[in-house]
């Protein structure tokens, strides 16, 4: 296929030239009904914020330009089919889970998944079988899925229907995806990959294997995170053993019937850009990231980690486009450095947690931006460094699962002061966002270690979400 084509974008340009009089939605009628918004976003944006119609196809049941754009995306990513997702990668992750497992069926997954995966279990009632990731004790971060642990989970749960893998993790750590796929397929299980941070794996060199190349059955890809499309736009990729028609039915259970043409055209044009120029784009991205890692490590105190962590198992590979930096040795939590970068230096990085920060290096970065980040980190270290004694030393606590997320979430519950909740079963989520990996999920035992972690995260300024009580002074328990 001609990857230089962008069918949705081209159809929108043709539509604009027709000067159609709108008596349909959206009600702003090409911006005339909301002049302030039109002035803010621009007339061209409002002109293409349109409804589904015959010349522009329909996202729920594409037969023309959206269908062609999906086929181009599938070819670019090496998939059997690619679905345009406009409810974010959250909806792609949930569609994978809904398509693979039903209520009462088991799914094997790491516990350090994004909340979207556990939310899917709350909705559809599948039973999680957690493979607890290893933890790097020096950095305090969860790792990938050990092949031995996956084999053990499959052996103990031969009736499971699917294996779910984060690849890469938020920190850039990758599992041995090919081996996991091989083991799961031998057991008759599907492999679902949350590849939210792995768009570049499909287009760059010297990067970890992509889900489709590894033979996974489904993958959710956040094109907006690393690929240049607009926020909330993603792809859901499927491989040979998954039904395209059934997957679309599943997607249509939750995805909007009013697909945004702003989001879809951004996916279309971003796919075109990466298909034509991706290797050169990501060569530059990796050069910038490698330079930044080296310069940060020269500062002293920080540790910008990379493939030096690889152990061939739970850290099978590392995403070199990730600038993950350990901060605890300068006496500052990651969230403290995150806040300082934003408040004092006008630099917004992806996230800061208890001991680490993450800066995303991607298609839009420049050498000047990298230099500004490095110099700011150097100044923070010089001015704010302090002893690290007494700092919390790990990001992940293995949960004790008492009941399924669905049963716990919908059970009768009561609200108790969080400091008095140890020994009770949680019926809601508690997490720092980003990254959105639950500290507690519905159905898990609340332990003193978890309460210490939550108190420390709140003290350091982490943005805590998920609970009904916005301040998380109280928590819902069974």
Structure confidence at residue 280 (pLDDT): 96
Using an 8 Å Cβ cutoff, are 402 and 425 in contact? yes
Average pLDDT, the chain: 94
Q: What is the pLDDT of residues 330-351, one digit of tens each?
A: 999 999 999 999 999 999 999 9
In the prediction, which pLDDT does 329 show?
94
Res. 434: pLDDT tops 80:
no
Q: Length of the chain, please?
A: 478
Q: How many helices (H) and strands (E) does the chain have?
A: 16, 20
Selected residue with higher pLDDT from 389 and 281: 281
What per-residue confidence (pLDDT) applies to 291?
97
Residue 435: DSSP 8-state: T
Which of 421-439 are b and which e, b meaning 16 or more Cβ less than 10 Å from the residue's Cβ? beebbbbbbbbbebbbbbb
Which of 1.25.50.10, 3.20.20.140, 3.90.226.10, 3.90.105.10 is the CATH number of 405-477?
A: 3.90.105.10
Give the mean model confidence (pLDDT) for residues 350-369.
93
- Going from N- to C-terminal start, the domains of the chain cover 279-384, 405-477
Confidence band for 394, pLDDT divided at 50, 70 and 90: low
Tell me what percent of the residues of the chain surpass a pLDDT of 70.
99
Overall average pLDDT of the 68-86 stretch: 98
Tokens 């989001």, residue?
Answer: 263
Read off the pLDDT band of 388 (50, 70, 90).
confident
Long-range contacts of 446-450 (CB under 8 A, 24+ apart): 446/421, 446/422, 446/475, 446/477, 447/397, 447/400, 447/422, 447/423, 448/422, 449/397, 450/397
**CATH among 3.30.1490.190, 3.90.1150.10, 3.40.1160.10, 1.10.3720.10 for 279-384:** 3.90.1150.10
- Report, as an integer, the average pLDDT of 126-131: 94
**Tens-place pLDDT, residues 41-57:** 999 999 999 999 999 99
Cis peptide before 434 (omega within 30 of 0): yes
- pLDDT of amino acid 78: 98
- Which contacts of 16-21 are long-range, i.e. CB under 8 A and separated by 24 or more positions? 16/47, 16/48, 18/55
Q: What is the mean pLDDT of residues 374-378?
A: 98
Tokens read off for 278: 């991706």
How far apart, in Å, are the Cα atoms of 352 and each of 283, 319, 359, 380? 26, 18, 9, 15
Query: End-to-end CA distance of the chain, in Å?
Result: 55
Over the stretch 134-167, which tens digit does the pLDDT of each residue have? Answer: 888 788 888 999 999 999 999 999 999 999 999 9
Task: Report, as an integer, the average pLDDT of 47-75.
Answer: 97
In the prediction, which pLDDT does 391 show?
67
Q: Which two tokens stand for residue 12?
A: 């929108």
> What pLDDT sits at residue 282?
96
Flag the least confident range among 32-36, 242-246, 263-267, 458-462: 458-462
Higher pLDDT, 303 or 241: 303
Check whether 257 has a pLDDT greater than 80.
yes
pLDDT band per the 50, 70, 90 thresholds, residue 35: very high
pLDDT at 207 over 90: yes
Query: Is 222's pLDDT higher than 70?
Result: yes
Q: What is the DSSP string of 244-269?
A: HHHHHHHHHHHS-SS--HHHHHHHHH
What pLDDT was estimated at residue 435?
A: 77
Per-residue pLDDT at 235 exceeds 80: yes
Distance CA 326, CA 358 (A): 9
């Amino acid at each position: 296929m001609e990857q230089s084509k962008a069918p949705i974008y081209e159809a929108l340009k043709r539509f604009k030239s027709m000067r159609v009089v709108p008596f349909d939605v959206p009600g702003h009628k090409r911006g005339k009904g909301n002049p302030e918004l039109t002035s803010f976003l621009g007339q061209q944006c409002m002109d293409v914020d349109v409804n589904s119609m015959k010349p522009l196809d329909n996202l729920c049941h594409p037969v023309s330009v959206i269908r062609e754009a999906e086929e181009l995306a599938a070819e670019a990513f090496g998939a059997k089919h690619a679905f345009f997702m406009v409810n974010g990668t959250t909806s792609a992750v949930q569609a994978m889970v809904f398509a693979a497992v039903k209520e009462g069926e088991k799914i094997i997954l790491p516990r350090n998944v994004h909340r979207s995966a556990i939310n899917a279990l709350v909705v559809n009632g599948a039973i999680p079988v957690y493979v607890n990731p290893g933890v790097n004790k020096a950095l305090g971060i969860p790792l990938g899925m050990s092949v031995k642990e996956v084999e053990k989970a499959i052996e103990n749960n031969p009736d499971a229907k699917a294996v779910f893998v984060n690849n890469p993790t938020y920190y850039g750590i990758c599992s041995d995806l090919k081996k996991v796929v091989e083991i799961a397929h031998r057991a008759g299980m599907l492999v679902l990959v949350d590849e939210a941070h792995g768009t570049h794996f499909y287009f760059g060199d010297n990067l970890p294997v992509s889900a489709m190349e590894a033979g996974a059955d489904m993958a959710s890809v956040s094109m907006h995170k690393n690929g240049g499309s607009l926020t909330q736009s993603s792809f859901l990729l499927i491989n040979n053993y998954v039904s395209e028609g059934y997957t679309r039915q599943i997607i249509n259970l939750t995805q909007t019937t009013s697909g945004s043409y702003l989001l879809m055209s951004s996916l279309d044009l971003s796919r075109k850009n990466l298909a034509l120029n991706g290797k050169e784009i990501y060569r530059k991205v990796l050069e910038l990231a490698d330079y930044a890692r080296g310069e940060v490590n020269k500062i002293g105190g920080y540790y910008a980690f990379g493939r030096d962590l690889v152990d061939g198992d739970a850290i099978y590979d590392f995403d070199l486009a990730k600038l993950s930096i350990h901060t605890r040795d300068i006496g500052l939590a990651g969230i403290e450095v995150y806040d300082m970068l934003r408040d004092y230096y006008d630099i917004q990085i992806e996230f800061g947690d208890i001991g680490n920060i993450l800066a995303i290096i991607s298609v839009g970065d420049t050498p000047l931006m990298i230099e500004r980040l490095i110099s700011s980190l150097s100044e923070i270290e010089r001015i704010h460094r302090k002893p690290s004694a007494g700092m919390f030393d790990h990001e992940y606590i293995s949960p004790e699962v008492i009941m399924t997320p669905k049963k716990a979430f919908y059970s009768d519950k009561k609200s108790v002061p969080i400091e008095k909740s140890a020994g009770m079963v949680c019926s809601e989520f508690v997490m720092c966002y980003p990254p959105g990996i639950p500290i507690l999920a519905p159905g898990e035992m609340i332990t003193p270690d978890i309460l210490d972690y939550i108190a420390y995260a709140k003290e350091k300024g982490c943005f805590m979400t998920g609970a009904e009580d916005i301040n998380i002074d109280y928590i819902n328990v069974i």
